[in-house]
Amino acid sequence: MNETLAELGESELLRRLSRFAPPGQLNDDSAALGSDSRPMLVNTDVLVDGIHFSDASTKPSDVGWRAVAANLSDLAASGAISVDGITVALVAPGDTPWSWVEGVYTGLKAALDEYGGVILGGDCSKGSERLLSITALGRLGPLRLHRGEARPGDILVTSGPHGLSRLGLAILQNDKALHGIPLSDALRTAAINQHQRPIPRLAALQDLLNCKPESLPWRAGGTDSSDGLLAAIQGLCSSSGCGASLDEALLPRSKDWPTGDLWDRWCLAGGEDFELVLSLPPAWAQRWLDRQPHSRHIGCITAEHNMIRWQHSRQRIDSQGFDHFRTTQTL
């Protein structure tokens, strides 16, 4: 029986949603967090139907998982070593099936069970379209990662390959850009997994903390690649007043990744990869690369303000550099 939210009514909806939180957690108007000497990190992410997800490419449980993963990825990229939980604001039309909401909360809870934290509270409202806004709360470890802490001479590293999520979306949408291009089964599976069930890189952050050379201070530049690898590097450079040099041969392509402009563009700017992008002193970078099997060295930070270049040609890389791709393809 596929009841709608209008048929359930607000109190029954809240009663059902309370099953996804610890017992009694949603009974009151506020949630109390335990005291903790570590600074708290907070971030909010909004997902809108038709923009960040659609029924065509995203199961409701994946909508929930991705929402948590995006938030926790931002916490990891700021230095969070534990997650208290999330608050969830849900807006949906009255004709939305309960099964969709149940699926979303099932995905939210599955991701929290995997990476830490609980549903602390939230709110629901009727609205003209489906929207999910999540606020995540976490605790800072010894390293506060900032975009503005990259320094010339640092090594640029990332926790994994890029472009997989964009490829996964293209596969799920049967994008004509893929027609006639042979893709290995392993690459197809990895791409769909990365799109549907991205992993917030909290473990990679923990490894980074564990392997800092003692002689170095707690200073590193960092962000995540939720908006794409190039945007992450641009963010580091502009916030730090630095530039970057990227080695085309070291673009973090996945195994079996095809060659060509489209594929380099998806790697650099496909988005929603949710990998850490870090600017580290060379000795720290090397230790982390040695410990993280999927991590990649992609280039270095330079003193040239806001200028990202290819190492081999010295040619500038920026959004204009991608215009020629956009004549045939859109992101």
Query: Of the two residues 70 and 143, which places its CB atom closer to Mg ion in the complex?
Result: 70
Among 78, 165, 226, 279, the residue binding Mg ion under the rule CB under 5 A is 226
Task: Please give the Cα distance from 132 to 90 (Å, whole number).
Answer: 5
Among 74, 154, 264, 273, the residue binding Mg ion under the rule CB under 5 A is 74
Is 49 near Mg ion (CB under 5 A)? Answer: no
If you search the block for the tokens 């060295």, which residue do you land on?
Answer: 297
- CB contact at 8 A, 283 and 214: no
User: Least Å distance between CB 7 and Mg ion?
Assistant: 37
User: Least Å distance between CB 75 and Mg ion?
Assistant: 10
Query: Of the two residues 49 and 224, which places its CB atom closer to Mg ion in the complex?
Result: 224
The neighbour count for residue 215, using CB atoms within 10 Å, is 8
- The token pair at 23 is 């017992």
Bridge-based pairing of strands 296-302 and 308-310 is unpaired
Query: Of the two residues 45 and 302, which places its CB atom closer to Mg ion in the complex?
Result: 45
User: Least Å distance between CB 96 and Mg ion?
Assistant: 27
Query: Of the two residues 71 and 82, which places its CB atom closer to Mg ion in the complex?
Result: 71
Query: Of the two residues 155 and 276, which places its CB atom closer to Mg ion in the complex?
Result: 276
Query: Of the two residues 149 and 224, which places its CB atom closer to Mg ion in the complex?
Result: 224
Query: Exposure of 246 by Cβ count < 10 A (0-12 exposed, 13-18 middle, 19+ buried)?
Result: buried
Query: Of the two residues 158 and 226, which places its CB atom closer to Mg ion in the complex?
Result: 226
Contacts of 104 (CB under 8 A, 6+ apart): 60, 61, 63, 64, 67, 90, 132
Sign of the CA dihedral running 132, 278, 80, 239: negative
User: Least Å distance between CB 326 and Mg ion?
Assistant: 23
Q: State whether residue 222 is helix, strand or coil.
A: strand
Is 224 near Mg ion (CB under 5 A)? Answer: yes
Spatial CA neighbour of 205 closest among 39, 43, 76? 76
Number of residues that bind Mg ion (CB under 5 A): 3
The neighbour count for residue 1, using CB atoms within 10 Å, is 5
- The token pair at 234 is 């641009």
Residue 169-208 contact track with Mg ion, rule CB under 5 A, x = bound: ----------------------------------------
Is 272 near Mg ion (CB under 5 A)? Answer: no
Stretch that binds Mg ion, among 20-28, 91-99, 120-128, 216-224 (CB under 5 A): 216-224
Residues that bind Mg ion (CB under 5 A): 74, 224, 226
